[in-house]
Chain A
Amino acid sequence: MSLSADRLARAYRNGFLPGSRRTVFRDLSLTIRPGETFGLMGNSGAGKSTLGRVIAGLEPPTAGRVCFHGRDTALMNRSEYRAFRRSVQVMFQDPSAAFNPKKTIGTSYMEVLDLIGTPRPAQKAVIAGILESVGLSGELLGRYPHQISGGQSQRLALGRILLLDPEYIVLDEPTSALDVSVQAQILHLLKELQSERGIGYLFISHDEAVVRFMASRVGRIEDGRLVIEGEA
């Protein structure tokens, strides 16, 4: 029941000449088990975020495979892929871009519930429950993204992801745009939710202290290869 990357590689074409490719990472394997946090570190531009997007299925790998529950995601049928799509989510770095600026937070929440087929009358209660678990009030639902703070935005983004009841979340530098006190609150909230729901995290950050606080296993991308440090 794990999410794993097997000999994964990602390269980008760099111009039209043959052989002009830039390899971001290669031969990269890792496994994330339910309820555990894998911490991923590396310098800026090392390919941490790219790896997160490839594992979440937002970008295809150049080589290798991503397996969810033992199945190669590239070979999944429609219903399997839909289940994978909902079970593996990403939380991004920039809180100001977490929500569509043209929609209220409530609309952004409701469209997720519409997507998974939650009946309209039941949606209010579901949203209230989620907001309670991320420590926010329903008053924020009527606001637009530019009317809320960075910390609130990250909590709301996390709440929106939780509506899908995911098994794994790729946390792509989720606190690096926040100030220290808010950062601590979000990290504790993430730990709390993990113990309540058994969610597996791929926690990406360049901040070693934060990664070691969050993760049970830590890896570092160096020169396009993953070096796993073992138990943190």
Chain B
Amino acid sequence: MRAMDALKSTNRGAMALLAVFLCMAAFPSLIAPYGPSERSMPYQAPGPEHILGTTNMGNDILSELIYGARISLLVGFASALLATGIGLAVGLTAGYFRGALDEVLMAFTDVVLIIPKIPLIIILAAFLRPGVGILILVLGALSWESIARVVRSKTLQVRETGFVMSARCMGFPPLRIMASDIVPNIIHVVLPKFMLATAAAMISEASLSFLGLGDPSMESWGAMVSSAFTKGGFIREMWWWYLPPGICITLCVLSVAAIGFAFEEGEGTTVRVE
């Protein structure tokens, strides 16, 4: 009981934290003290005018931090959505139809599973035109395989239940059975996977941006750390430049992952098909 309460309070804290980041991403112009292109004296230390100081270009670091949430969250959620969509489609098709189709799809999934992700993403990001769209596409297209495996195994289980067999027997079309009878009964295993895929995509985005492979026109948290590293922030020991985006990445990923884990933990407590 105490463990459940702890879980609930962790979940509430994580949700509140994520809500703060979502607000930052949704309404940056209302929260940020300066616009993204407003400039003043470069390399300023924290003070009353610029709470976190300014960058080498004179941009307000706090404002950059607030505007940066948009890219991190957009890349995280959009690529996780894409990965979940592909994983659901592959897993449902393999689990529902079984047979040769299942074997082909799962063999393909295994191939994707063993590809080393980060090196491949680095190569793709370097060769393709850097941009948020490409980043979402690459991260989403390379992180669906664990979702597909989970969805397939759960689909294999649910398709043998009486109500799915009845629906097949009555002549409901396969797509309708999958959407109406199977997906609602496996969504509890997909949701935590979606949150964890979001957290993983945010880390990948930050890593790529730090390596200079992100979208140069949009300042994300990873790109901020990268700028601090390459534009004199580290040499001048301007911790207020590189530490806040690092903390934001950590907290945001933690909140998303905590919600994912809470969903996974809560799995055992809800009414569902077994």
- Using a CB–CB cutoff of 8 Å, the interface residues on chain A facing chain B are 53, 56-58, 82, 85-86, 88-90, 92-94, 97-102, 108, 111-112, 115, 146, 157, 160-161, 164
Contacts and interface: CB of A to CB of B under 8 A. Distances in A.
A157 B185 CA distance: 19
Contact of A97 (B171, B172, B180, B273): B273
Given A85-B170, A85-B171, A101-B273, A90 B165 contact: yes
A112 B170 contact: yes
Contacts of A97: 161-163, 273
B185 A102 contact: yes
Contacts of B170: 85-86, 89, 112, 115, 164
Given A92-B162, A94-B162, A146-B271, A100 B184 contact: yes
A48 B150 CA distance: 31
Contacts of B165: 53, 58, 90, 92
A202 to B, nearest CB: 13
Nearest to A144: B271
A58 B174 CA distance: 13
A56 B272 CA distance: 27
A89 B169 contact: yes
Describe B's contact surface by its main secondary structure: helix
Residue from B163, B184, B273 with most neighbouring chain A CB atoms (10 Å): B163
B166 interface: yes
B163 A100 contact: yes
A92 B171 contact: no
A186 to B, nearest CB: 15
Contacts of B166: 89-90, 92, 98, 157, 160-161
Interface string B144-187: 00000000000000000111011011111000000011001100
A100 B183 CA distance: 11
B147 to A, nearest CB: 20
13 contacts: A53-B165, A58-B168, A89-B166, A90-B165, A90-B166, A92-B162, A100-B163, A100-B184, A102-B185, A111-B180, A115-B170, A146-B271, A160-B166
Contacts of A53: 165
Contact of A85 (B163, B169, B181): B169
A95 to B, nearest CB: 8
A56 B169 contact: yes
Contacts of B172: 111, 115
Contacts of A101: 185, 271-273
A102 B180 CA distance: 9
Interface in B220-274: 271-273
B237 to A, nearest CB: 57
Nearest to A163: B170
A89 B184 CA distance: 24
A79 to B, nearest CB: 12
Given A100-B163, A111-B172, 5 more contacts: A57-B169, A94-B161, A98-B166, A115-B170, A157-B162
B156 to A, nearest CB: 15
A99 B171 contact: no
Contact of B163 (A88, A89, A98, A115): A98
A186 B88 CA distance: 39
A99 to B, nearest CB: 5
A150 B68 CA distance: 56
Contacts of A98: 162-163, 166
A115 B176 CA distance: 11
Nearest to A89: B169
B107 to A, nearest CB: 13
Contacts of B171: 82, 85-86, 115
Interface in B60-95: none
Nearest to B161: A97
Nearest to A145: B163
A134 to B, nearest CB: 15
